[in-house]
Structure 1
Amino acid sequence: MNLILKKARLIEPGNLFHNKVIDIKIKDGIIQKIDTNIQSEEGFTAIELDNLHISTGWFDTSVSLGEPGYEERETITNGLEVAAKSGFTGIALQPNSNPIIDNQSQIHFVKQKANNSSTELFPIGALTKNSDGVELAELFDMKNAGAIAFGDYNKSIENANLLKVALQYAQDFDGLVIAFSQDNNIKGKGIVNEGISATQLGLKGISSLAEEIIINRNLFILEYTGGKLHIPTISTAKSVQLIRDAKAKGLAVTCSVAVHNLFFNDDVLKGFDANFRVTPPIRTEEDRKALIEGVIDGTIDCITSDHNPIDIEFKKLEFDLAKNGTIGLESAYTALQAILPTEIIIEKLTAGRKALGLETVTIKEGEKANISLFNPEGSSEFSQENILSKSKNSAFLGSKVKGKVYGIYNQTNLILNN
């Protein structure tokens, strides 16, 4: 589709046109011209939207979709359409399907399913076979098939030597290891953050130590082995400081935080809403503020929706019986716009490509058009009508949010919300 984006304010610090209102002419998926006023011409569709803002395409570093095996939760086709309408031009797909994505044939399968989508899919291969944490999966074969990194979704590697070997082996082919961090012995039967709220509600708690002790261990291993490590969805103030210190040492470590850990604190547990049962748990207000500080000062590299669809059969249960996870693609931008400056949001929603070792994109003449379209103004309440996913398990239902996502332009396609 050939088009001209009219009167769009570009948010891309470092770009010549940053924070300027411009027109962009796109032909066959390539940015042909950027100027302050481009005249309409035959064969081009003019797109003019209220208070249109644009940025390089957003990338989500942690998305679960279900397929293959859990299509009742979400399919790849619909999940990628949800991502597009949520402003994301690319997602990293977690390997927690059935079967687990732990070999090259599974990598080929999910990539083939995403072939015609406007949002690009980049698979994460499981670090261990069947994500059991016992034996390394076929990392090199999966890398050659298109896997961008290797990790077991929401499963910590208990065997320290296995992580050591993985970091050493992955260096042979410039592989990235993803290490979720939670000590299962300290976690025990805990299901929410250990603190006042858990005690008042009679729910078993998960100490922040469960996360921090494994992050500390993994950083020691990284310092010993070298290589590249990504620590996903951190949730505590001490975790931020541990990673800040590791970066100061020069270690090749990146990390992410989930939107819901930035937006909520554990006071929300009082309603026993199972949508707030997530991994890692929603922590204290002190932790939340430290995470926001980590985002702003650059310690935290990127923000993820940590989108995890769970069908009603496993979510609409008593709190202690429900599965962990919340969907988050649809609410990611508008929730962030309610708590962070726009420039910081865009920086952290676009930084995932670099964090996971992918080629970065920019908005300039001659480049492929990979663009997110949004409006940072206007308040609303996130409701069922905003959910596009097959599963409806959103922690953000009823939350006051800000702004609006218009859609994306990518892969020569314009995808707009109705």
Structure 2
Amino acid sequence: MNLIIRAARIIDPKSLFHNQVVDIKINNGLIEKINLSIDNKDNLEELQLENLHISQGWFDTSVSLGEPGFEDRETISNGLQVAAKSGFTGIALQPNSFPILDNQSQINFVKQKAKDFATELFPIGALTKNSEGTELAELFDMKNAGAIAFGDYNKSLDNANLLKISLQYTQDFNGIVIAFCQDNTIKGKGLVHEGIVSTMLGLKGIPSLAEELIIARNLFILEYTGGKLHIPTISTAKSVQLIKEAKTKGLHVTCSVAIHNLILMDKTIESFDTRFKVLPPLRKEEDRKALIAGVLDHTIDCITSDHNPIDIEHKKIEFDLAKNGTIGLESAFGALQTILPIEIIIEKLTSGKTVFNIENETLDEGQKANITLFNPEGNYTFTENNILSKSKNSAFLGQNLKGKVYGIYNQGKLILS
């Protein structure tokens, strides 16, 4: 649709109009004109919203949707609508469906399902067949079908040689390997962060060492092989330090952090509420502060909601039996606004496009209109009424959040929440 957006403040440091309040004329999906005031000679539809801010469209680097196989948790169609109304013009889809997205036909299936939606879907192919960690999947075929990277969601690769081979092999076609980091022998039967809280509650703990050992191992392998490695959802202070040192060496490593690890701590599990059971686990305050510092000094490249819908049968049960995961799309912007300045939030919600080699349009004339619309002001309490997902397993229920997402404009479509 063609329209004129009125009185919008542009938040895009790469744009000529950064931090200016302007009108934007969109024609055939492109930004035709930006000016202080635009005449509506063509009688186009107009959009004017309170304290409207716009930025490049946000991109979430880790979203699970369930379909195919787990449609009771979430479908692709509803998930993309949730993403759009949460401000995301693009999402990276994790391969943890049933069947696992480990071949060309599965990548084609989810891309076909996502056609004609305002929010674009970029599939991550499984690194190993059936995400079992024993044999590499059809990486090159999946790349040709549209996979943007390869990784086994929340599964650490025990076989160091397989990671070595994957980093060598993917260099032939500029592929990216995603390596979730956790030493499974050290984790053992751990459920939460190992510390004072886990001891008090009598819950088996997951030491920070479990994450840090594998990060150190994987970085050594990357230094040996070359290639591109993305480490998702880091959670400890030492992890930030290790990645910072690797970047100083010039290694091609990027990383992300989940929003809940930036805001919540292990003490929240004192209620035994399974909404707070996530992987990696919520850590202590020192880790949380180090993660925020890593975001601010750009050691951490991007922030993800790590959106993972879980049905009530697998979530609202005994703590040790409940599945890990929280939904996060709907609460992402409001939660981040409680801890970070707006320009950092926008940068970290869009930088994933650069990490995964996805076109990143600036808000300038002649560019594709890939836009998120929001109001950074206003406080509210996040309740189940704010949840649009089929699953309701949000770690942010009852939290005081800030700001409002109006929606997106992308693929020639306007979606408002």
Q: Considering the TM-score relative to the shorter chain, is it more than 0.5?
A: yes
Alignment of 1:87-236 (within 5 A): 87-236=87-236
Equivalent in the alignment of 1:19: 19
Equivalent in the alignment of 2:30: 30
Q: Is the 8 A contact 1:57 1:370 kept in 2?
A: yes
1:194 is matched by which residue type in structure 2?
E
2:201 is matched by which residue type in structure 1?
L
2:88 is matched by which residue type in structure 1?
F
- Once residues 206 and 413 of structure 1 are traced to their aligned partners in structure 2, the CA distance between those partners, rounded to angstroms, is 45
- Once residues 50 and 368 of structure 1 are traced to their aligned partners in structure 2, the CA distance between those partners, rounded to angstroms, is 24
1:213 is matched by which residue type in structure 2?
L
- Once residues 325 and 276 of structure 1 are traced to their aligned partners in structure 2, the CA distance between those partners, rounded to angstroms, is 8
Secondary structure at the counterpart of residue 403 of structure 1 = strand
Alignment of 1:281-360 (within 5 A): 281-360=281-360
- Once residues 89 and 75 of structure 1 are traced to their aligned partners in structure 2, the CA distance between those partners, rounded to angstroms, is 17
Deviations 1:212-266 (A, max 9, x none): 0000000000000000000000000000000000000000000000000001011
2:7 is matched by which residue type in structure 1?
K
- Once residues 191 and 38 of structure 2 are traced to their aligned partners in structure 1, the CA distance between those partners, rounded to angstroms, is 56
Equivalent in the alignment of 2:365: 365
Alignment of 1:39-118 (within 5 A): 39-118=39-118
- Once residues 285 and 408 of structure 1 are traced to their aligned partners in structure 2, the CA distance between those partners, rounded to angstroms, is 34
Q: Is the 8 A contact 2:64 2:307 kept in 1?
A: yes
Q: Bigger shift: 212-221 or 351-360? A: 351-360
Pairwise CA distance, 1:270: 1.0
- Once residues 141 and 217 of structure 2 are traced to their aligned partners in structure 1, the CA distance between those partners, rounded to angstroms, is 28
- Once residues 270 and 19 of structure 1 are traced to their aligned partners in structure 2, the CA distance between those partners, rounded to angstroms, is 43
Secondary structure at the counterpart of residue 330 of structure 1 = coil
Alignment of 1:215-294 (within 5 A): 215-294=215-294
- Once residues 202 and 79 of structure 2 are traced to their aligned partners in structure 1, the CA distance between those partners, rounded to angstroms, is 36
Q: Over aligned residue pairs, what C-alpha RMSD do you find?
A: 0.6
- Once residues 361 and 305 of structure 1 are traced to their aligned partners in structure 2, the CA distance between those partners, rounded to angstroms, is 22
2:266 is matched by which residue type in structure 1?
D
- Once residues 266 and 125 of structure 2 are traced to their aligned partners in structure 1, the CA distance between those partners, rounded to angstroms, is 32
1:261 is matched by which residue type in structure 2?
N
Secondary structure at the counterpart of residue 223 of structure 1 = helix
Secondary structure at the counterpart of residue 255 of structure 1 = strand
Deviations 1:311-357 (A, max 9, x none): 00100111111100000000001000111000000000000101112
- Once residues 4 and 263 of structure 1 are traced to their aligned partners in structure 2, the CA distance between those partners, rounded to angstroms, is 37
- Once residues 294 and 45 of structure 1 are traced to their aligned partners in structure 2, the CA distance between those partners, rounded to angstroms, is 43
Deviations 1:181-209 (A, max 9, x none): 00000000000000111111111100000
Secondary structure at the counterpart of residue 164 of structure 2 = helix
- Once residues 41 and 334 of structure 2 are traced to their aligned partners in structure 1, the CA distance between those partners, rounded to angstroms, is 34
Q: Which runs of 5+ in 1 are unaligned?
A: none
- Once residues 365 and 283 of structure 1 are traced to their aligned partners in structure 2, the CA distance between those partners, rounded to angstroms, is 44
Pairwise CA distance, 1:14: 2.9
- Once residues 118 and 358 of structure 1 are traced to their aligned partners in structure 2, the CA distance between those partners, rounded to angstroms, is 16
Pairwise CA distance, 1:104: 0.1
Pairwise CA distance, 1:397: 0.1
Secondary structure at the counterpart of residue 241 of structure 2 = helix
Secondary structure at the counterpart of residue 282 of structure 1 = coil
Pairwise CA distance, 1:40: 2.2
Secondary structure at the counterpart of residue 409 of structure 1 = strand
**Residues 1:396 and 2:396 aligned together:** yes
2:242 is matched by which residue type in structure 1?
L
Q: Is the 8 A contact 1:257 1:304 kept in 2?
A: yes
- Once residues 22 and 199 of structure 1 are traced to their aligned partners in structure 2, the CA distance between those partners, rounded to angstroms, is 56
1:378 is matched by which residue type in structure 2?
G
- Say how many residue pairs are matched: 417
1:123 is matched by which residue type in structure 2?
P
Q: Is the 8 A contact 1:2 1:43 kept in 2?
A: no
- Once residues 376 and 273 of structure 2 are traced to their aligned partners in structure 1, the CA distance between those partners, rounded to angstroms, is 29
Equivalent in the alignment of 1:383: 383
Pairwise CA distance, 1:116: 1.4
1:86 is matched by which residue type in structure 2?
S
Pairwise CA distance, 1:43: 4.0
Pairwise CA distance, 1:279: 0.6
Secondary structure at the counterpart of residue 331 of structure 2 = helix
Pairwise CA distance, 1:44: 1.1
- Once residues 281 and 320 of structure 2 are traced to their aligned partners in structure 1, the CA distance between those partners, rounded to angstroms, is 13
TM-score by length of 1: 0.99
Q: Which runs of 5+ in 2 are unaligned?
A: none
Q: Is the 8 A contact 1:60 1:305 kept in 2?
A: yes
Secondary structure at the counterpart of residue 17 of structure 2 = coil
Structure 1's consecutive aligned runs of 4 or more residues displaced over 3 angstroms after TM superposition are none
Secondary structure at the counterpart of residue 329 of structure 1 = coil
TM-score by length of 2: 0.99
Q: Is the 8 A contact 2:95 2:102 kept in 1?
A: yes
Secondary structure at the counterpart of residue 42 of structure 1 = coil
1:387 is matched by which residue type in structure 2?
I
